[in-house]
Amino acid sequence: QVSLKESGPVLVKPKETLTLTCTVSGFSLSSGRMGVSWIRQPPGRALEWLAHIFSDDEKSYNTSVNSRVTISKDTSKSQVVLTMTNVDPVDTATYFCARIPLTHFAYDMDVWGKGTKVTVSS
Amino acid sequence: DIQMTQSPSSVSASVGDRVTITCRASRDIGNWLAWYQQKPGKAPQLLIYAASSLQSGAPSRFSGSGSGTDFSLTISGLQPEDFATYYCQQSTGFPLTFGGGTKVEIK
């Protein structure tokens, strides 16, 4: 069964670096054009896509956070890591990771993690 | 970036009603559109992909239509478990973008 699980700190101080980990199971991060995206959702607001990494390590970023965000993966650990530098209170959100299998030749997200809540505050 | 605009932002409806939500893209995206359902405190779930294809496990009362820039999601016979927020997402390429969401509330 395919699943994804996010983990990381609950509270981060402004200007610090946030590191979130998505641990996947039931599929390989190295197969086909399988990929994982990170998406966030501020309290009471809409979803915002942040970054994506493909099985061949190709990456794509949202330009709104491009200079502060890095996505990487460790295939042996089945993990995808999102790093966000210089965080601000506006980065307070629930962060989700989701699989994009490209089985329909489109970038839709068929399985999501439950999300992890991150608060940026001093 | 492709902007996605949903309407209405909220709708009140009763069990058994037919509800239609619309989504407009800022440019032609073919049929590369997905719809998600999100319940409070939960992750979104994929309902529809490629504008009109029902995701495995999604109830058949959900249907999608449209192409180009104008799309719609219809719930035929609203059930109590359908009260949630619905998002569209263009799936044609990066950067991926979502609509602002439509909250379906109980009348």
Please tell me the number of Cα atoms within 13 Å of B83 on its side-chain side. 9
Interface touch B89/A108, C-beta < 8 Å: yes
> Does the pLDDT value for residue A29 go beyond 80?
yes
Which residues on B lie below 8 Å from A42 (Cβ)? none
Distances (CA, A) of A63 to A48, A55, A98, A106, B96: 12, 21, 19, 21, 11
Distances (CA, A) of B22 to A31, A92, A111: 35, 29, 24
Rg (CA), chain B: 13
pLDDT tens, A50-71?
999 999 999 999 998 878 999 9
Residue of chain A nearest B31, judged by CA positions: A106
Interface touch A46/B1, C-beta < 8 Å: no
Interface touch A47/B98, C-beta < 8 Å: yes
Which residue among A48, A110, A113 sits closest to B46, beta carbon to beta carbon?
A110
Which residue among B46, B53, B93 sits closest to A109, beta carbon to beta carbon?
B46
pLDDT per residue as tens, chain B (107 positions): 999 999 999 999 999 999 999 999 999 999 999 999 999 999 999 999 999 999 999 999 999 999 999 999 999 999 999 999 999 999 999 999 999 999 999 88
Residue of chain B nearest A100, judged by CA positions: B91
| Distance (Å, whole) CA A17 – CA A110 | 29
Q: State the nearest Cα–Cα gap between B34 and chain A, in angstroms.
A: 6
